[in-house]
Structure 1
Amino acid sequence: MIKERFKNGGNWVTLVGFCISLAVVLTLLLSYALFPIDAAFYQVRHLYPISAGALYQNYVELMTYLQFPWIDKLVLTNFPVSASGALHFADVKKLFILAWLLLIVTAPFAIRFLHRLKVKKQNYRLLWAAQVGLVVPIVIALVASINFDQFFVTFHQLFFRNQDWLFDPATDPIILVLPEEFFMHCFILAFVLFEGMMLIGIIKARRSLKQLR
């Protein structure tokens, strides 16, 4: 009995980890399309003399470094990187790789668990977890929308052990072309993706309940 409960709890933890990591990884991938749009809209090239093509190349170089564990040094073609800047990006790299690892590890277990629920016609069990998963991010989003600047600062204080994320444009001009709005849009994108998964879970659960009735 205890073993079964432990296994059941592990399935739900794995599913949550899968949904969170999938939302993060999809956001990372979609940011390749989002960045040039924000860069053009907020006219960041007025702050640093660089062509649109070169700017995007540097963004790809940055994201490649952040997501590939075998690349151990950050080198940007058109931007210098200070020691503190490199240290911060190294910390970000750890979080991004952690998201990828979490997705890779949890995916087979989460998919198997979801498949088992479907086969046993127990998708209704998704309802409570999906409802909680729907509400909690909304509360966080409401708090963030009140003062995104403070939310942004608090987020960095929680996930980073130092103040290296406070970039000096004089030594790390890359920060000039990464507007705060871009990060905000990435947060929104991750939120929408996660909420979409929760809505899918709720829909499947309610359909399952209708079939039982």
Structure 2
Amino acid sequence: MLLEDYKGLIYYLQNPFVEKLKFNNFIMSKEGEFHFYEVKKIFLGIYLIVILSIIIFFIYSLIKKYNKEKNDMLKLFNKGANILITIFTILLIAIYTDFSKAFVIFHKIFFNNDYWIFDEKTDPIIKVLPEEVFKLYAIIIVVLLIIFIIVYKVLYYKSKKRSITK
């Protein structure tokens, strides 16, 4: 019952071809439905940015390879990784220190309304998606991103060291 609606929510948020969110076991207000639509736009925007970035990276790499030029993209990624580690570490500290405040600031940055403030009478889904769930999601996402960046940096420095010793 609950898992069915949760899977439906995730499917709705991640699939650009699903136009309407419908819960089988929960009522939903128009404001709640609109908030989930706004969240969906953010998810799809992130996916689009990732896909376009990958395409641009491959096109750039192919052009460099075709012109027999040195591809300095790894250096650029390393600088970006330094910035991201700083940002994600600050985020992790903010989440750990006062998640409620960070949660409110996040919503004020990404949403121009208060539809994210659910009333459990009109949007009972909030009873099973309390703030603590989002705190756990945020910690997992930020920690995984930091780990991926650290792995990238380790591989970057290993490849750099290998190219110096050759």
TM tier, shorter chain? Answer: 0.7 to 0.9
Contact 1:122 1:208 in 2 (8 A): no
SS at 2:36 equivalent: helix
Residue 172 of structure 1 aligns to which amino acid in structure 2? D
User: Which one of the candidate residues 161, 164, 172 is aligned to 2:123?
Assistant: 172
Distance 1:174 1:100, change over 3 A: same
Distance 1:156 1:203, change over 3 A: same
- In 2: Cα distance, 1:149 partner to 1:99 partner: 24
Runs of 5+ consecutive residues of structure 2 not aligned to the other structure: none
What root-mean-square deviation, in Å, do the aligned CA atoms of Structure 1 and Structure 2 show? Answer: 2.4
Residue 78 of structure 1: how far off its partner (Å)? 0.3
- In 2: Cα distance, 1:154 partner to 1:124 partner: 33
2:149 is equivalent to residue 198 of structure 1: yes
2:15 is equivalent to residue 64 of structure 1: no
- In 2: Cα distance, 1:127 partner to 1:151 partner: 28
- In 1: Cα distance, 2:21 partner to 2:118 partner: 16
- In 2: Cα distance, 1:107 partner to 1:124 partner: 14
Residue 123 of structure 1: how far off its partner (Å)? 7.6
Distance 1:165 1:207, change over 3 A: same
Residue 113 of structure 1: how far off its partner (Å)? 5.7
SS at 1:147 equivalent: helix
Distance 1:113 1:187, change over 3 A: farther
Residue 122 of structure 1: how far off its partner (Å)? 5.7
Residue 116 of structure 2 aligns to which amino acid in structure 1? W
- In 2: Cα distance, 1:181 partner to 1:96 partner: 20
- In 1: Cα distance, 2:11 partner to 2:57 partner: 27
Give the TM-score normalised by structure 1. 0.66
Moved more, 83-92 or 203-212: 203-212
Deviations 1:30-87 (A, max 9, x none): xxxxxxxxxxxxxxxxxxxxxxxx1100001111222222222211000001111111
Runs of 5+ consecutive residues of structure 1 not aligned to the other structure: 1-53
Residue 92 of structure 1: how far off its partner (Å)? 0.8
Contact 1:79 1:173 in 2 (8 A): yes
Moved more, 160-169 or 84-93: 84-93
- In 2: Cα distance, 1:179 partner to 1:100 partner: 25
SS at 2:20 equivalent: coil
Contact 2:12 2:18 in 1 (8 A): yes
Residue 186 of structure 1 aligns to which amino acid in structure 2? Y
Partner of 2:51: 104
User: Which one of the candidate residues 172, 181, 184 is aligned to 2:135?
Assistant: 184
User: Which one of the candidate residues 29, 35, 42 is aligned to 1:95?
Assistant: 42
Give aligned pairs, total.
159
Deviations 1:140-172 (A, max 9, x none): 211221110010011001100100000000010
Distance 1:123 1:106, change over 3 A: closer
User: Which one of the candidate residues 5, 29, 33 is aligned to 1:86?
Assistant: 33
Give the TM-score normalised by structure 2. 0.83
Contact 1:134 1:195 in 2 (8 A): yes
Identity %: 31
Residue 90 of structure 1: how far off its partner (Å)? 1.1
Query: Map of 1:12-161 to 2, 5 A cutoff?
Result: 54-111=1-58, 125=75, 126-161=77-112
